Amino acid sequence: MNKNIFAFSSSVVLGAASAFCLGTLPANATLLISNTRGNNVVLFDEKNGQFLGNFITSGNGGLVSPDDLNFGLDGNLYVSSGNDPSNSAILRYDGKTGKFIDVFASGGGLSRPYGAAFGPDGLLYVSSFLTDQILRYNGTTGTFIDVFATGNGIAGGLNGPNDLLFGPDGSLYVTTQGSIAVNNQATFPGLPSQVLRFDLATKTSTVFIEQPTPSPDSFGFVSFLGLALGTGGDLFVSDFANDIRRYSLATGALIDTLSTNYTGTNPSNNFIGNLAFGENNTLYTVGFNLAQNNEGAILRYNGVTGDPLPSLGNSNAIFVPTTDKLSRPIGIAFTTENLTTVPEANTSVSLLSLGVFLSISWLKREQTKRHT
């Protein structure tokens, strides 16, 4: 090949590659966060809080209002998606590249899936928020199996099911919002927000944690959302209306309350999403600020002592301060895998333009050389 043609071709290839190639992250510890308003999943470095880019771009694979994030035993990422019966599903993505694989689980009456968890029986359990049900799917094929549990519209029932977590005893723990589903709409008749514990063999439930006194920073209500199991065996529960409460998994007794009011307002302008443990027993959660266009932040705590762990220059528990990269974030997950980022659309266009500009500049220089 002519040397000059090869050089020009290389320039074009490098320019295009800079715009469209995927970048593998150098970090080995990453936080994944689902933006329910952005319809995407983004990445942050767990060490320094740096925004790393998109893992799943907006709407990829039909992603709508993404909520819970779960890595399966196959290493793939399963995302709760959808806000009504027509688009509700568990979507599956490659756990390292974020590439859409398929609509893994849907049907069975699923409407607005919030929590999801793989059970010790190999099945995938999904909370159908707008039908007050927990549905089960084959954990390998995604085929609908049955309705595991359904709400009864009375206190202590499966009313507004949210996050799901399997304990070391094999029991299924479920947060309930206290709403009742009517024609795929959540109504609030004043039922308590609780944590229920289900026996898989009998499909029966008991109230494991009763509704606590509302946070002094809240608007006077409780809305249990996320669940996480600490290394010491304690159960951490996030309250959408503010605070993270720590309970004994053995007795259900309250051990500690972690403040999440990072906006410093009363009532708090911020609301709280799910929970995830990272390295060194570090507990993370996400929040978003109603007074700032639902833009979000990431909070960090010592999962052993409960102490807030703000990053340098920040206060309270703020690890990543409010940013437009987070748009009403709810779901959060942690991984030590090397993930791949996807450039944002405007960044891709800019990089492609740069590549073309460099290629044209090179070509002009070569033409000038030929005529001098």
pLDDT at residue 345, rounded to an integer:
57
pLDDT at residue 189, rounded to an integer:
87
| Nearest residue to 152 via CA among 140, 161, 141, 139 | 161
pLDDT tens digits, residue range 55-94? 999 999 999 999 999 999 999 999 999 999 999 999 999 9
| Nearest residue to 120 via CA among 51, 190, 167 | 167
Ramachandran region, residue 98 (left: φ > 0; alpha: ψ -120 to 50; beta: rest): left
pLDDT at residue 11, rounded to an integer:
41
pLDDT at residue 23, rounded to an integer:
66
pLDDT at residue 268, rounded to an integer:
97
pLDDT at residue 342, rounded to an integer:
84
- State CA 73 to chain mean position distance: 18
CA atoms of 276 and 18, how far apart (whole Å): 33
Q: What is the pTM of this model?
A: 0.88
CA atoms of 294 and 49, how far apart (whole Å): 19
Residue 321: is the preceding peptide bond cis (ω within 30°)?
no
CA atoms of 146 and 136, how far apart (whole Å): 5
CA atoms of 224 and 257, how far apart (whole Å): 13
Residue recorded with tokens 């009375």 = 154
- State CA 176 to chain mean position distance: 18
CA atoms of 37 and 260, how far apart (whole Å): 21
Residue recorded with tokens 């709810």 = 330
Token pair of 224 as six digits = 């249990």
Residue extents of the structural domains in the chain: 1-22+344-372, 26-341
Token pair of 351 as six digits = 């990089």
Residues of the chain short of pLDDT 50, as ranges, are 1-21, 27, 346-364, 366-372
| Nearest residue to 40 via CA among 93, 84, 88 | 93
pLDDT tens digits, residue range 250-280? 999 999 999 999 999 999 999 999 999 999 9
Name residue 138's amino acid. Answer: N
Q: Yes or no: is domain 26-341 CATH 2.120.10.30?
A: yes
